[in-house]
Every structure is written in structure tokens, then in C-alpha cells.
Amino acid sequence: MLLFDAHLDLAWNAIDWNRDLHLPVAEIRRWELEQKLTDLKARGRGTVSFPALRQGQVGIFIATLLARVNMPGAVPAFQRYRHMQAASAAAWGQLHYYQILERLGTLRWIKDLATLEAHYAAWSKPDTDAEPLGFILSMEGADPILSPEDVELWYNAGLRIIGPAHYGVSPYAHGTGTVGGLFPQGKTLLREMERVGMILDVTHLSDQCFDEALEIYHGPVLASHHNCRALVPDQRQLSDDQIRRLIERKAVIGVALDAWMLYPGWIRGQTTPQAAKVTLATVLDHVDHICQLAGNANHVAIGTDLDGGFGTEQSPADLDTIADIQRLPEMLAQRGYSQEAIVGFAHGNWMRFFREAWKRGQQA
């Protein structure tokens, strides 16, 4: 079954981690181990590459630009730049990486409804070996946007989604692990996003920023990689009230496979997926919870975040590569989900979201 993953940090992995994503995952791991790389905990434990995506029929995904400024509450693995100009230059470099892959025929850049429909039709055929993988471009943390007036520049370059904050504080908003709201330029950023047709990703916003963003921004909203606070209490997760508000906005929530978001009390560097018994079935507990709040299965889908700064040491114990998420539809069937709900989770809900968002843009 065709799968649609709403969050993959591909350019960040290719450039910052120096990974050749055209290689099988096993070869990427082997090279890192042979080089004895120890700069990051996930070395030799990656899970994502283009061959693995094809093996898992993950034919469409949201790919990111990730270049953060080192600000209060920084996570060193992500926030490496001392000023916005450097972060902006890095993000433009990541965007160029996607341009190269598009020229090579590895990827198809999906920027509008017509391309989305054509890509979906191509991947709905029995033989997809010759088809590029499709991606929609997002920015995780708006640090590379030097001023709100640059939103249109990024849109014209192919960016379609922005998450204003990430871990810690961004120049525009408070993010994960912080308390506070939007900065004045963050409010202007949201208004510019709505004006040009940029989609808002609420992932990583602080609670106050979440509330303020939904008041200011009236365009399409998604949560690319989030789980449920009711099951794993942490500000990084969505509360039931936030989930209900997203449902009211016709949003879709992508469930993430980061194990610390799946196990209450996870201690980074100590807890293991095996000891915590975190598996792919654990992910479906969050799917169930969202569906119960919604009263249907229309607002939950996939947003793995695999290789988002972690590898197999912090992924479900029964997952080796991203290809293993192809097991999720069968696991939903075993839980009694209908075929319609399963297709929605696999790709249909994200397809509906972008169809509605981009039809709305055409009519504006």
C-alpha cells in the first residue's frame, strides 16, 4: 500500500550527517561504523534511505529544511548556527540538495495540486520502479527566514509549509521545552504565510504559541509529527484539547516513531526500546486515541520523524528501517479498523488535506 510520511529530515541527514541516501541503510551504517564516527548517538543506527523508502512503498513524504540558530534552550545536535544569516545560507544549501535530486530523477518536487494528482496517479499503478519519490518541502523552525517579508521568496522557491519553532526558542516563537508566546515578528510571519498560501505546521510550538497561532492564522493547519500527551505526558505532545482544536480546523496529525514520545518517563541515553517494550504497536495506541477523540479515523496519519536526530536506539524495537512501517496497515486491520480507515491512515488523509488546502489556494 502506498504510504505518505509527513516528516523526514532528508537534506539535514545528507548534508549535516554526510549520509549518501542513495545507498541501502545497511551500507550507510557500515560506513559510519568503519569511520568510527562518535559525534552523534545515532551513528551506525540510521533507518532511512531512498532504497528503504522504495522498499516500504513510502512514495510521498514531507521533506524538511532544518537549520537552527543557537538560542536559549538549544539542543546542540540541531542548533548549530550563531546567527540567522548562517542558518539561512545553510537552508538554501539544503534546498539546493533537493533541486539536485530532482534533476537526477530521484525525487519529484510537489508544489501544487496538479503535480500532487499526477504523482498519486503514477504511484497508484502496479509498477512504480521508474517513478521518482515525491516530496513536499517544509521548514522546521523558521530561523532561516531573515524577515517575515521573505516568506514569499521562500514560497516562490518551492517551500510550502513552515513550522515557526523547533526545540527551544526561535527568532519567531517559543518551541518545545519552553514557556512563552509568539514574538512580534512571529505574528507578522503568520500573517505573511496566510497571505502567500503557506501551510502552518504547529509541531514543536509551545502551548501558548499553539493558542496564539490558531487565533492569528486562518489558513490550512497540520501537525506533521506529534503524539498524545494523554498517553505520554510531555509538552512535546498534543493535549486532548489541542487535538480537538486541530480536528475543528480539519487538520491531520502525523504520529511519530521517536521512542521517547511513546514511553512515559523515557530517559535519553538510558532507556532502550527493548527494555521499555516500545514497538510499532505502541504507535497505534496514539492512533487509537486520536480516532476516539475525533469519532472517526480522518485526522490521523503517518509522520515518522525517523532519523530526526536518532536511530534504532530510539525507534520502536521491531523496526529496522523505514520500510518496516509498511506493516502498520496490516496491524490496523488486526485492531478492527476498516479498509477505508486504513487507506486514510496510509495516505488518504494526507492526500485529502493537501487537496483541500491547495484547492482553497486556487480559489483565493
Residue 333's region, left for phi above 0, alpha for psi from -120 to 50, else beta, is alpha
Nearest to 140 by CA among 112, 122, 155, 161: 161
Residue 13, amino acid: N
Residue 70 — very low, low, confident or very high, per pLDDT cuts 50/70/90?
confident
User: How many CA atoms are closer than 13 Å to the CA of 298, on its beta-carbon side?
Assistant: 12
pLDDT: which is higher, 77 or 43: 43
pLDDT at 363 (0 to 100): 64
Q: Which CATH class is domain 3-363?
A: alpha beta
pLDDT at 72 (0 to 100): 62
| Mean pLDDT estimate for the chain | 96
For residue 295, the cross-strand partners are none
Mean pLDDT of 42-65: 98
Q: What is the grid cell recorded at 364?
A: 483565493
pLDDT tens for 74-84 read 566 666 799 99
Residue 138 — very low, low, confident or very high, per pLDDT cuts 50/70/90?
very high
pLDDT at 360 (0 to 100): 78
Mean pLDDT of 289-312: 98
pLDDT tens for 156-199 read 999 999 999 999 999 999 999 999 999 999 999 999 999 999 99
pLDDT tens for 86-125 read 999 999 999 999 999 999 999 999 999 999 999 999 999 9
Beta strands in the chain (DSSP E): 3-8, 58-65, 68-69, 79-81, 107-109, 133-140, 159-163, 199-201, 221-222, 253-255, 300-302
Residue 361 — very low, low, confident or very high, per pLDDT cuts 50/70/90?
low
Mean pLDDT of 358-364: 75
pLDDT tens for 234-254 read 999 999 999 999 999 999 999
Asked whether the predicted pLDDT for residue 364 surpasses 60, the reply is no
